[in-house]
Chains A and B, each alone.
Chain A
């Protein structure tokens, strides 16, 4: 429970942080809330040489609505996101996910940026971002790039981020009219990582059939992933239980759960079907008709 030794710096601005990442490439690790990193340090599973604490870097914790999207600063805590009424009303999937992460203490300090960059294969935010077709802004000393969530989660605990980059923002496009969303997390006990987590975003067209779908899964593959077969199976169909069952089956066909302390693989696969159907059902129930826009 005692970490190994490391150095610590607390840069006062982003430039400084990026400079350090560049100068000490491969040795430095960003410290945001610390609720993913510090447990690893205590188990000595991560042994960085220097921690770069970005708590003093301004401009990274806002939740801002632009005409095109929501821009959530990397240092926005799960709690701040949970409490944000505008964001939660427009994207209930975000509110659902935020409220299910850890416990109140964890939510007070854990940040969305830290969580997304850490990319635990059972974490909740990646599934949400994938379902929403969000993106992440990455800054290095050389500039900024914006990377879609789809393609960012490369492998277990591995994302497309470079060692010299800081994830500064998570971006979520606005909900089209007629959209509802939900995150359903099956867990063994309060505060647990997901056994299966499903983020579902459904947009209903003028004729009431599904015009758009986003389905993100976590805890059932090497990395969180977008269930693209499920999404394809949903388009054009009525939002009813038969449709959801078909989509859930398609999601299961793309899942590769492993047997572990959360349960046997066959159980998890069955739960992919069950939870995906529940998430879709809830998303559909929350979708308004095309003349109502999510507020």
Chain B
């Protein structure tokens, strides 16, 4: 069985590998590229621990093949901190005790980031609906929702400041 050459832009950097067609995207990221922040927690696409962003949409990396991602842009948890500055979601999860064991956290943050890109001012119920595909066993979700709302507020005000600056 032949391997395929794939080029995937991960967190802004083009990465290449020769892979079996059956290699799951999550294993490409973790084992081939050494980005172990994305985790697996199930084998039926339920838990969401493997959530990343592919071409602008959140995706479960365990339910995608590496070959499907050939030519795609992928963002993982490792790409959230930019220039030494934590993404507001990362900071908010820390501030609000939105994690305990930390295993679901990368996927939870990636999905929350997507959710806020789609809906910058969600209600608590909309946050719940947005993370319904991400299971957490430790936190009971209460502080996760608080964290997402804190980040949402900060992103909205940064957006307003940016707009203000642009129009000045």
Chains A and B touch each other in the complex, with CB atoms below 8 Å apart: yes
Does A55 sit within 8 A of B, measured CB to CB? Answer: yes
A60 to B: closest C-beta gap in Å: 16
Q: Contacts A39-B44, A108-B59 known; A3 to B64 CB distance under 8 Å? A: no
Select B133's contact among A7, A8, A105, beta carbons within 8 Å.
A105
Assess the B133–A103 pair: CB atoms within 8 A: yes
Interface residues of B (CB under 8 A from A): 1-2, 4, 20-22, 24, 40, 43-46, 48, 51, 57-60, 62-65, 67-68, 70, 111, 114-115, 129-130, 132-134
Assess the A8–B63 pair: CB atoms within 8 A: no
Assess the B59–A105 pair: CB atoms within 8 A: yes
B residues less than 8 Å from A79 (CB atoms): 57
Assess the A34–B58 pair: CB atoms within 8 A: no
B63 to A: closest C-beta gap in Å: 5
Does A280 sit within 8 A of B, measured CB to CB? Answer: no
Assess the B46–A191 pair: CB atoms within 8 A: yes
20 A-B pairs whose Cβ atoms sit less than 8 Å apart in the complex:
A1-B40, A5-B1, A5-B21, A5-B22, A6-B1, A6-B21, A31-B68, A34-B68, A35-B45, A38-B63, A39-B44, A41-B22, A42-B24, A51-B65, A102-B133, A105-B133, A106-B45, A109-B63, A190-B129, A191-B133
Measured between alpha carbons, how far is A106 from B24 in the docked complex, in Å?
Answer: 16
Q: Contacts A35-B63, A38-B65 known; A104 to B114 CB distance under 8 Å? A: yes
A residues less than 8 Å from B63 (CB atoms): 34-35, 38-39, 109
Select B57's contact among A1, A41, A51, A109, beta carbons within 8 Å.
A109
Assess the A105–B111 pair: CB atoms within 8 A: yes
Measured between alpha carbons, how far is A191 from B44 in the docked complex, in Å?
Answer: 12
Does A160 sit within 8 A of B, measured CB to CB? Answer: no
A12 to B: closest C-beta gap in Å: 12
Select from chain B the residue with minimum beta-carbon distance to A189.
Answer: B132
Measured between alpha carbons, how far is A190 from B132 in the docked complex, in Å?
Answer: 7
In order of increasing CB-CB distance, the 7 nearest A-B pairs are A103-B133, A8-B21, A1-B43, A108-B57, A3-B22, A190-B132, A103-B132
B residues less than 8 Å from A34 (CB atoms): 63-65, 68
Assess the A4–B22 pair: CB atoms within 8 A: yes
Interface residues of A in 38-78 (CB under 8 A from B): 38-39, 41-43, 51, 53, 55
Assess the A53–B45 pair: CB atoms within 8 A: no
Task: For the A-B complex with A10-B67, A103-B133 known, give 12 more contacts whose Cβ atoms are closer than 8 Å.
Answer: A3-B22, A8-B4, A8-B21, A34-B64, A42-B24, A43-B43, A103-B48, A103-B134, A104-B130, A108-B58, A191-B46, A191-B133
Measured between alpha carbons, how far is A114 from B63 in the docked complex, in Å?
Answer: 14
Measured between alpha carbons, how far is A161 from B92 in the docked complex, in Å?
Answer: 50
B residues less than 8 Å from A190 (CB atoms): 129, 132
Select from chain A the residue with minimum beta-carbon distance to B44.
Answer: A39
Select from chain B the residue with minimum beta-carbon distance to A41.
Answer: B22
Measured between alpha carbons, how far is A104 from B68 in the docked complex, in Å?
Answer: 19
B118 to A: closest C-beta gap in Å: 8
Measured between alpha carbons, how far is A53 from B129 in the docked complex, in Å?
Answer: 30
Measured between alpha carbons, how far is A190 from B130 in the docked complex, in Å?
Answer: 11
A residues less than 8 Å from B57 (CB atoms): 79, 108-109
